[in-house]
Amino acid sequence: MYRILKKKVLNPTVTLMEVEAPLIAAKAQPGQFIILRADKDGERIPLTISGCDKERGSVRIIFQLVGATTKQLGMLNEGDMIPDFVGPLGNPTPIDGLKKVCVVGGGVGCAIALPVAEKLHENGCEVHTIAGFRNKDLVILEDEFKACSDKYILMTDDGSAGEKGVVTMPLEKLIGSGENYDMVIAIGPLIMMKFVVKTTKPHGVPTTVSMNPIMIDGTGMCGGCRLTVGGKTRFACVDGPDFDGFEVDFDEAMKRGAMYRDFERHAYEKSCHLLNKEVE
């Protein structure tokens, strides 16, 4: 059992929790994730480790309330127990040796991007962050990003905070103006990452993307998380979750997603509750 030490509602759909898990806190590196069950008969869902406090032995998760499990988790309070919490899973985001990086986060993807930006900053890397949200109410982690970024650009779809538009607009501008990034790291909805790659590829700026297909075990046992990367089948939980954005078959990953959404729309829930909605 894993105790919830802290809970903070960041916005109406996004919640932060710090969970007591000393072994994970001691090991976790940016880019890795945990799998939890919110109750003892629950589903296993993956959430990225958004930070950890080695002294307190706690792991921070930030999650969007999108469905049954995340809602159930959101109902737990400080002092409550999470029955299962396993990690750190997956590979750390490869950031060694990078000198100048643009981190692009979309929506709750920013929660995943934050520890990567922080670690880069700590390593002495120049960090530019572009964070995109649908509107002002959904903006999260602004202060945290500002603290670790040499440049922070906030974008909203409707212009209610920061600049109006999508994250690829400032990205194109920055690259065009001669910012020589060693790497662009994009974390967010599939469609966003796809367009980030479309922006960076013509300029030949290496781009890492963080994939989040549906997972069960997270140990390489089920193959449910498979993707096509560079023409080969890879398991996101053990080979990823980060991949070379130029190699990922986003269309396949998205079609799989869109198909599930279709199921949902046609009220197929009874026969197929494999609903897929991107994390946004």
Ligand X SMILES: Cc1cc2nc3c(=O)[nH]c(=O)nc-3n(C[C@H](O)[C@H](O)[C@H](O)COP(=O)(O)OP(=O)(O)OC[C@H]3O[C@@H](n4cnc5c(N)ncnc54)[C@H](O)[C@@H]3O)c2cc1C
Six-digit token string for 186: 């994009």
- What binding mask, one character per residue, do residues 119-148 give for ligand X by CB under 6 A, x or -? ------------------------------
Q: Are 82 and 76 in contact (CB under 8 A)?
A: yes
User: What residues from 45 to 74 belong to the interface with another protein (CB under 8 A)?
Assistant: 68-69
Rg (Cα) of the chain, in Å, rounded? 18
Q: Find the part of the chain contacting ligand FES (CB under 6 A) among 70-78, 102-110, 171-179, 222-230.
A: 222-230
What SS3 class is residue 235?
A: strand
Sign of CA dihedral 224, 133, 77, 7: positive
Question: Is residue 120 close enough to count as binding ligand FES by CB under 6 A?
Answer: no
Query: 38 or 114, CB closer to ligand FES?
Result: 38
Question: Is residue 46 close enough to count as binding ligand X by CB under 6 A?
Answer: yes
Six-digit token string for 220: 């390489």
Listing DSSP states for 137-170 in one string gives: GG---HHHHHHH-SEEEEEETTSSSSEES-THHH
Binding another protein (rule: CB under 8 A), the pick from 8, 164, 173, 255 is: 255
Q: Find the part of the chain contacting ligand X (CB under 6 A) among 119-127, 166-174, 187-195, 271-279.
A: 271-279
Determine the Cα–Cα distance for residues 228 and 224; give it in Å rounded to an integer.
12
Q: Find the part of the chain contacting another protein (CB under 8 A) among 4-12, 134-142, 175-183, 269-277.
A: 269-277
Determine the Cα–Cα distance for residues 227 and 245; give it in Å rounded to an integer.
12
- Contact set with another protein (CB under 8 A): 23-24, 27, 37, 41-44, 68-69, 83-89, 216-217, 219-224, 226-228, 233, 238, 252, 255-256, 258-260, 262, 271-275
